[in-house]
Structure 1
Amino acid sequence: MKKSVAILFAFIISQFQAQQTPYYQQAAKYKMDIDVNAEKFTYQGNQTLEYTNNSPDELNVVYFHLYWNAFKSNSMMDQRVASQGKNGDSRLQKDGISRLPSIPKNEEGAQNIHWIKQNGQNLKFEIQETIMKVYLAEPIKPNSTTNFTMEWNAVIPQQIRRSGRNNKEGVDMTMTQWYPKISEYDYDGWATFDYLGREFHSPFSDFDVTIKINKDYVIGAGGILENPTEVKGYDANAKIKTEKDKKATWRWTAKNMLDFAWSADRDYIVKSFDVPEGPKVFLVYQNNDKTKAWEEAPAYLTKYFQIMNGHFGKYVYPTYAFIQGGDGGMEYGMCTMILGEAKNSKDLMGLMAHEGSHSWYQQMLATNESMRPWMDEGFTSYAEGYTMHQLFPEELPNPFIERLDAYRKFLEKKIEEPAVWLGDHHDNGTSYTYSTYIKGELYLVELGYIMGEQNLAETLKQYYDQWSMKHPTDRDFLHIAQKVSGMDLKWFHHYWINTTKTIDYGIKDVKYDAKSTTITLVNNGQVPMPIDFSVMTTDKKIVTYQIPTNLTHTWKSKDAYGDFKTVAYWPWTQKEYTLTVPYTKSQLSVLGIDFSQRIADVNMKDNFLEVKQ
């Protein structure tokens, strides 16, 4: 009996310790030498990687991502696109048929690993599609560092998704996810998701990258150019140093970021300007009639970075580059690749604001976007909406009204999938977009409605303060939101992220008396919510009543959208709720649920009532 008790006690202690494991994150330092054959769209690569295991686990294998192996016929990406047909990503298919088999054999993506060594010892490795599993010669013990060296060559794939040669606007090379990149290892284990065209994840790393390429090319990259006077485009007085084969050498460095991306074209121009209190911003693009909107970008981008720094946390890196390339917009360390042609400044700035905001909600606050894409794309979309409303102000009930309307319209298709699903495992491309971008954005909009906009702003600030340059999860964010607001918010998180249940409140009945009016509200939906119910009097005065839900146990005390009076809570199990206000029919003009229109109610038709005299 005593032995059993001792074993049970030891088990309980071990479980408690497991749950209390201190936070850690891995670290890497890359030094690369790249020699590009621009005519053949290939390159030779050598890499030294210093990898530090800060985990409490001994590692016997490591994994690398080889993203470009996806760009070929019958790859997993091709199979996934083929199985989804017209429901998949439109950029990867045409008329429901995968574009990948159309890539000529000599233009298929390839990262051919010649060898990899650990501390000078040859290692066995195996290629599993876009993942390389490496068997170590010696384990990497906790809190220790090892060194890998590697040689490889690569074929730059035809531009289909994110990366590749000859994008549709004529950019020669978009070099993203282009090198063998070590996978992230954390409490959840190795992040070894196959690349199917969507999101990425990796450890924070330092980079020292030397690129040799024909001297007539200009490179745009996320990092610090260490020799601007020796290459084309960055210094009017540059004296380009070339070797015998007429190649120029570019050297880029960057510290503590997730990846290093670059793009190269012979027609690029480079413009730069300084945002007060940082960063220095570079615009790298082809200067033609279709890119005129870039000329107006500096003024908007200066204000954009100032808004982001003030409301969401300080951008920590010294530079940021907006680079024309890729197939739409995709964020990387200290830069983004975007299509450069735009109808006007607002359209271009919308794309820049979204991709730039990923520097907060993908780079500095580096969630695993393959597992929680809604935290990456959704929070970024919220920051985009917040900043764009200030850059291009409109008379709207709130900055997110168009997203709310789009969400309601999307639900009519009846194809919604839960936001909790893994990024590459959504069955429908449109459903992925709404589950990830729209519901992720509205997650914050709804929290602002529930807890008050000031509390949401403070939550975002503390989230940045506590978790920037780390790998937070939704649990970390929710912990801060609950601490700031004093509310229990787990119920909302569950409904909004883990289910496809919807909000639907309405005005069921109104009775006018001699001295008051009694309103009966009804919950026709499956997601309980607090209700801000407002009345507008005939003299245009608005009075708002906060009807809390008992699920939060604490009510919001303030909200930027106006003052309110708090009344008795609405039990979440109760279908109807009655509210009596001290106004007669002759004194009332309009009655309504949430005049700010932030609540994501799927049926707005019964939310407002005009009082006809």
Structure 2
Amino acid sequence: MRKSAAIIFAFIISQFHAQQGAYYQQAAKYKMDIDVNAEKFTYQGKQTLEYTNNSPDELNVVYFHLYWNAFKPNSMMDQRVSSQGKNGDGRLQKNGISTLSSIPKDQEGSQNIHWIKQNGKDLKFEVQETIMKVYLAESIKPNSTTIFTMDWDAVIPQQIRRSGRNNREGVDMTMTQWYPKIAEYDYDGWATFDYLGREFHAPFSDFDVTIKINKDYVVGAGGILENPTEVKGYDAAAKIKTEKDKKTTWKWTAKNILDFAWSADRDYSVESFNVPEGPKVYLVYQKNDKTKAWGESQPYITKYFQIMNNHFGKYVYPTYAFIQGGDGGMEYGMCTMILGEAKNIKDLMGLMAHEGSHSWYQQMLATNESVRPWMDEGFTSYAEGYTMYQLFPEQLPNPFIERLNAYRNFVKKGIEEPAVWLGDHHDNGTAYTYASYVKGELYLVQLGYIMGEQNLAETLKQYYDQWSMKHPSDRDFLHIAQKVSGMDLKWFHNYWINTTKTIDYGIKDVKYDDKSTTITLINKGQVPMPIDFSVMTKDKKVVTYQIPLNMTHTWKEKDIYGEFKTMPYWAWTQKEYTITVPYNKSQLSALGIDFSQRIADVNPEDNFVEVK
């Protein structure tokens, strides 16, 4: 190649990589008018959507999610649950049979699109169950904005999962995934996964929502109520304004959130209080004997937000609502829908802490949870465990020991599936739970063990600082973790997320001499790890020796679980490692691998020796 041609080619390649690496995110502004027929559990909807294409690509089609179309017999969700049998999501089954298959015709979910226009021009569209493909009248060029208008009606489905009418706790309407929502578009293309009951992905959006509903209803939502003096439940001096048909109009706004959700019931009570330095918290629930724990929750919720703000980054929105939705728990923008009934305050706070933590790991740090559910559910579970340990202190080796033990027991069943799998494509419902919730949580626990808890805390803070209100990926998180720790961590990420290989170290042999003790350690597992090996003397002094793993190339310098002496590294290809400590048998009371009990060793029984 001639020199001039080579220079031009190199320039083109450099520009391609520069463009490939440029970050962007789409933006949307919704204005919706909703008229609810509470007696028939239907509503009429009108929507204006201002959509901005910040990508470098020219868009000729757009996609919308129509989630409620899944709630009917023979839908893809029904087919998936039916084909999995007892291995599927138990919340969608009864005795191993899909509950979707028996929804009465008049209670099937539906979102019927009457028409959609772009800048006033009618558009052709086709509905592919929970996905609507829209062919544009004019392409949306990079860095330009277009206006969609839409008219539709919907049937609120029988509540099977998250959304719906008349749930078992007596809540009339849980309005989640309830409107035609534009899909996310990013470097990976359109996020058009069919809705099968699990996760979501969406662009950050602004919402202006007007809801007309019978005057005796109270509405809870994730957003700012703009007319609290005109509606029921939010202002003792409210003068409820009704129209001729006896309906009240509720006006809600929200900025820069992923989703707008609301719920309505005639028996809701509303309580509110301010967390120092924010947010203002709303409790929207039915007061009765089964929900007494809600009345005890204020001091715990206050402390919860303070811990989260301090350790994981500040909650950026002005309000947050815990709403009794009647089916498990599911996070949305500035609110969560959760079960109202709870045995005690600890059970209730466990649910609130998990769903509240999704405001960090799904809302503000908006990963694509359909593709990487372990970053969504796993990081959230870690935050839940971290905060609950401080809200309800226990004498445990670490806050995550129960989750570690659950993981060990599950691995022995032999049905584990890799965390890298797409959320809705796991073959076993329990395997999905462990891949996403448990292994995602233990991903952070293991990183804390590998690089030190201080480095993990700093990584989480920098992750928030750099990526809040954006759509990060696992690559972005790993980049920060490596930068903070100075370690190469790609090996761990690959083993833990992309495989089901396990950690299994042990003490093979102990030999006592007059002035020292020699211990032979063995790696019986498939995942190599650095090892913290400790001895306890008869006078209860603990001395820890750090045995680094060669693949990290930089060694852990400190850890809140104690100081240590650094030994020569253990090569990942080497099965055994010998260490000699300057204590004889009469001086020792115990020795072992990881006194902090953080390492996810699947057979920890041979990690400790009591010296007698």
TMscore range, shorter length: over 0.9
- Distance in 2 of aligned mates of 1:4 and 1:241: 74
Shift of 1:372: 0.2
State the Cα deviation string for residues 188-236 of structure 1 (Å, max 9, x = none): 1000000000000100000000000000000000000000000000000
- Distance in 2 of aligned mates of 1:326 and 1:348: 13
- Distance in 1 of aligned mates of 2:188 and 2:20: 12
* Counterpart residue type for residue 83 of structure 1: S
- Distance in 2 of aligned mates of 1:278 and 1:19: 38
* Counterpart residue type for residue 18 of structure 2: Q
State the Cα deviation string for residues 251-286 of structure 1 (Å, max 9, x = none): 000000001000000000000000000000000000
In structure 1, the residue matched to 2:193 is: 193
* 2:187 is aligned with 1:162: no
In structure 2, the residue matched to 1:552 is: 552
State the Cα deviation string for residues 114-160 of structure 1 (Å, max 9, x = none): 00000000000000010000000000000000000000000000000
Pairwise mapping of residues 215-254 of structure 1 onto structure 2 (< 5 A)? Answer: 215-254=215-254
Shift of 1:15: 4.5
In structure 2, the residue matched to 1:502 is: 502
Deviates more, 1:358-367 or 1:321-330: 321-330
- Distance in 1 of aligned mates of 2:7 and 2:575: 51
- Distance in 2 of aligned mates of 1:167 and 1:382: 30
Q: Secondary structure at the match of 2:291?
A: helix
- Distance in 2 of aligned mates of 1:199 and 1:7: 45
Shift of 1:95: 1.2
Q: Secondary structure at the match of 2:442?
A: helix
State the Cα deviation string for residues 331-382 of structure 1 (Å, max 9, x = none): 0000000000000000000000000000000000000000000000000000
In structure 1, the residue matched to 2:284 is: 284
In structure 2, the residue matched to 1:121 is: 121
For the Cα contact (< 8 Å) 1:163–1:326, is it kept in 2?
Answer: no
Pairwise mapping of residues 151-550 of structure 1 onto structure 2 (< 5 A)? Answer: 151-550=151-550
* Counterpart residue type for residue 267 of structure 1: D
Q: Percent identity?
A: 86
Shift of 1:18: 4.5
Q: How many residues align?
A: 611
In structure 2, the residue matched to 1:73 is: 73
In structure 1, the residue matched to 2:17 is: 16
In structure 1, the residue matched to 2:609 is: 609
Q: Secondary structure at the match of 2:212?
A: strand
Shift of 1:12: 3.5
In structure 2, the residue matched to 1:107 is: 107
* Counterpart residue type for residue 17 of structure 2: F
* Counterpart residue type for residue 135 of structure 1: Y
Q: Secondary structure at the match of 1:446?
A: helix
Shift of 1:96: 1.2
* 2:46 is aligned with 1:46: yes
* Counterpart residue type for residue 136 of structure 1: L
Q: Secondary structure at the match of 1:378?
A: helix
- Distance in 2 of aligned mates of 1:572 and 1:18: 38
State the Cα deviation string for residues 67-115 of structure 1 (Å, max 9, x = none): 0000001110011001100000011111111111211001100000000
Q: Secondary structure at the match of 1:376?
A: helix
Q: Secondary structure at the match of 1:356?
A: helix
For the Cα contact (< 8 Å) 2:326–2:340, is it kept in 1?
Answer: no
Deviates more, 1:293-302 or 1:5-14: 5-14
* Counterpart residue type for residue 78 of structure 1: D
* Counterpart residue type for residue 440 of structure 1: G
* Counterpart residue type for residue 218 of structure 2: V
- Distance in 2 of aligned mates of 1:64 and 1:19: 25
- Distance in 2 of aligned mates of 1:514 and 1:15: 67
- Distance in 1 of aligned mates of 2:473 and 2:329: 24
What TM-score results when the alignment is normalised by the length of structure 1?
Answer: 0.99
- Distance in 2 of aligned mates of 1:166 and 1:118: 36
Q: State the superposition RMSD in angstroms.
A: 1.0
Shift of 1:484: 0.3
- Distance in 1 of aligned mates of 2:318 and 2:436: 30
In structure 2, the residue matched to 1:63 is: 63
State the Cα deviation string for residues 296-321 of structure 1 (Å, max 9, x = none): 00010000000000000000000000
- Distance in 2 of aligned mates of 1:439 and 1:143: 39
- Distance in 2 of aligned mates of 1:394 and 1:510: 34
For the Cα contact (< 8 Å) 1:401–1:597, is it kept in 2?
Answer: yes
* Counterpart residue type for residue 445 of structure 1: V
- Distance in 1 of aligned mates of 2:17 and 2:266: 59
Q: Secondary structure at the match of 1:434?
A: helix
User: Which runs of structure 1 show a deviation greater than 6 angstroms over 4 or more consecutive aligned residues?
Assistant: none
- Distance in 1 of aligned mates of 2:275 and 2:11: 57
* Counterpart residue type for residue 127 of structure 2: I
* 2:134 is aligned with 1:134: yes
Q: Name structure 1 gaps, 5 residues minimum.
A: none
